[in-house]
Amino acid sequence: MTQIGIGIIGGGYMGKAHAVAMSAVGAVFETALRPRLEMVCATSDSSAEKYRSAFGFARATTDWRVLVNDPLVEAIVIASPQSTHRDIAEAAFALGKPVLCEKPMGATLADSLAMTQAAENANAINMVGFNYIRTPASQYARDLIRDGVIGDITWFRGEHTEDFLADPDAPATWRTTGMANGTMGDLAPHMLNAALALIGPISSLIAEVETVHTDRPGGTVTNDDHGQMMCRFENGAMGAMYFSRIATGRKMGYAYEITGTKGAIRFDQEDQNAIWLYKMHGDEAQRGFTKILTGPAHPDYLPFCQGPGHGTGYQDQIIIEAKDFLEAIGSGQNKWPTFRDGLAVNQIVAAALASSDTKSWQNVSDY
């Protein structure tokens, strides 16, 4: 096995998740490359030292340039605010270093395009952190669709709904300022990524985006609370999606329903270790959706547990992501989802916002 020095920019919620994943991935998946937590970057000396000590990094810094340029940092994870992503990624790619960047990839579509071009021009390993699609259940859904188990896809319904801002008296925060932090910038990309992974490219769409609670204690809201979209996929399937941070009662409503000519699939992230499958064959009296509990027979499950139905969790998604990133580095071949895939999501978001403004159908290829 070979060690690889990892630098993580950002030590908060996602920074910690990636640090834990890099610490665990070698043991879980027995990867050929074994991460060494070399350096963490945070905004102050005290927080940088706190994260270094808590997560087990060798060193800490408050300057991301120091981390990127350090020769012992051989691969970089960007878990800082999206307004910083472009500069960090471009600097890393200029040195040929692999980058795993949290979503949303860029603060703007222009940023995402520039980051994608920088990655491809440098021929450097690049990956975007869409973790939810990596659950064993959703990976299995992709396999079922690919293998034609439910036939030709005719319809897709998806949602990413949460209620962390459902209370109108909840105070204004960084999440309520700037479109990149709104629902279309923050939550929608996960389900859009799922739609692309499960069904394929979207050709056209019409959308409505709305701010419901325009004023909150401490400030005015400058971004969107929820949005809805109808779309047409390139393969001819119809689609409908809804995204919300004010969906009262929903905690992790990353859910989809897929209808095919031979069957159907249902999934809800709040029950992430199960998938519902309907097959249109056999005795009509015995037909119905079957609940399938994930287990060792499903993708990326066995390394965590030998027992069917015992389940995986949120952190395990990030460990699977780390495994994919390390395998890409080791093979020298990018693994899905790349920056190009992240750019595709941001193009759909741009088209949706334009559609909401103009109240008209938009072709995604125009963005």
Question: How much is the pLDDT for 185?
Answer: 94
The enclosing H or E element of 206 equals strand 202-210
State pTM to two decimals. Answer: 0.96
Domain ranges of the chain: 2-131, 133-334+345-358
Is residue 125 within 8 Å of 340, Cβ to Cβ? Answer: no
| DSSP code for 339 | H
Choices 3.30.360.10, 3.30.590.10, 3.40.50.300, 3.30.565.10: CATH for 133-334+345-358: 3.30.360.10
Instruction: Enter the CATH code of domain 2-131.
Output: 3.40.50.720
Is residue 215 within 8 Å of 117, Cβ to Cβ? Answer: no
d(CA 354, CA 208): 9
Looking at residue 47, its amino acid is S
Whether the ω angle into residue 168 lies within 30 degrees of 0, i.e. cis, is no
What phi and psi values does residue 168 have, to the nearest 5 degrees? -65, -15
Question: How much is the pLDDT for 181?
Answer: 93
d(CA 329, CA 335): 9
Structure tokens at 159: 């949602």
| DSSP code for 135 | S
pLDDT tens-place values along the chain, 367 residues long: 799 999 999 999 999 999 999 999 999 999 999 999 999 999 999 999 999 999 999 999 999 999 999 999 999 999 999 999 999 999 999 999 999 999 989 989 999 999 999 999 999 999 999 999 999 999 999 999 999 999 999 999 999 999 999 999 999 999 999 999 999 999 999 999 999 999 999 999 999 999 999 999 999 999 999 999 999 999 999 999 999 999 999 999 999 999 999 999 999 999 999 999 999 998 999 899 999 999 999 999 999 999 999 999 999 999 999 999 999 999 999 999 999 999 999 999 999 999 999 999 999 999 9
Instruction: Point out which residues pair with 291 in neighbouring strands.
Output: 276
d(CA 22, CA 100): 12
Is residue 96 within 8 Å of 120, Cβ to Cβ? Answer: no
Helix (H, G, I), strand (E, B) or coil at 187: coil
Question: How much is the pLDDT for 305?
Answer: 96
d(CA 212, CA 209): 10
Question: How much is the pLDDT for 166?
Answer: 98
Is residue 274 within 8 Å of 137, Cβ to Cβ? Answer: yes
* Closest-CA residue to 210 (of 175, 244, 248): 244
Question: How much is the pLDDT for 200?
Answer: 98
| Cα angle value 134/135/138 (rounded, 5°) | 85
* Closest-CA residue to 269 (of 248, 296, 251): 251
Question: How much is the pLDDT for 280?
Answer: 95
Is residue 228 within 8 Å of 207, Cβ to Cβ? Answer: yes
Other C-beta atoms within 10 Å of 168: how many? 13
Task: Give the number of C-alpha atoms closer than 13 A to the C-alpha of residue 361, restricted to the C-beta side.
Answer: 8
Question: How much is the pLDDT for 282?
Answer: 87
